[in-house]
Chains A and B, each alone.
Chain A
Amino acid sequence: AQKVTQAQTEISVVEKEDVTLDCVYETRDTTYYLFWYKQPPSGELVFLIRRNSFDEQNEISGRYSWNFQKSTSSFNFTITASQVVDSAVYFCALSEASDYGQNFVFGPGTRLSVLP
């Protein structure tokens, strides 16, 4: 069974600090995808990134970066120089190729508060 763990329930940082959100996953598949979603206080869910299991290159998009390590089954998300607008709940999700249709197991989420 697939499982996603986000051990940090809540994190508070002061604006301009760097912050890393942890995501650890479990899967028996060799082919799978990992995702991060953002849920701001307004409630909608926003797709941030997708990474497949064969691509371990780290990715950077502006102040956001993602570190995928298969050896530790982790897909961590770092925000550099955090801003108040980064305050949100962030979800990590796993999708397996073998689980046709019934995919996308979500972690419980990490609530990030960025204080001015």
Chain B
Amino acid sequence: NAGVTQTPKFRVLKTGQSMTLLCAQDMNHEYMYWYRQDPGMGLRLIHYSVGEGTTAKGEVPDGYNVSRLKKQNFLLGLESAAPSQTSVYFCASSYESYNSPLHFGNGTRLTVT
């Protein structure tokens, strides 16, 4: 039982390049989330999904896009990377909405130069 799997684990981009982060969960969870973690700021929600085919903006959505074409996958895209997007990105999933704990992937460390 893998839980939540994120790929890649590390990535270095140059300003203006694009990339997609993949998140896959095998727990049949409805809810999926993308967070970014920056020093001293905790985790901030980028985008989330309440079910297959749905996405919504979180606290810091600018510069990111997401897609949830299949229930088990949640993709995070950066169309034109900027140094301000250097961060550690975490994907999470949960069985229900507000009352279920989040299950996190191991994170992706992204550096934009």
Q: CB within 8 Å of B: which residues of A?
A: 4, 9, 32-33, 35, 37, 43-45, 47, 50, 52, 91, 95-97, 99-104, 106-109
Q: CB within 8 Å of A: which residues of B?
A: 31, 33, 35, 40-45, 48, 50, 56, 58, 88, 90, 92, 97-99, 101-104, 106-107
Known A32-B98, A47-B101, A107-B42; further 15 A-B contacts with Cβ < 8 A: A4-B42, A33-B99, A35-B102, A91-B43, A96-B98, A97-B99, A100-B97, A101-B31, A101-B50, A102-B48, A102-B58, A103-B97, A106-B42, A108-B41, A108-B42
The number of A-B residue pairs with CB atoms under 8 Å apart is: 63
- Which residue of chain B is the closest to A52 with respect to CB atoms? B99
State the Cβ distance, B85 to closest chain A Cβ, in Å: 18
State the Cβ distance, A86 to closest chain B Cβ, in Å: 19
Whether A45 contacts B101 in the complex (CB less than 8 A), given A107-B42, A108-B40, A109-B42, comes out as no
Q: Which one, B42, B50, B99, contacts A91 given CB within 8 A? A: B42
Q: Are A95 and B99 in contact (CB under 8 A)?
A: yes
Q: Which one, B31, B50, B98, contacts A33 given CB within 8 A? A: B98
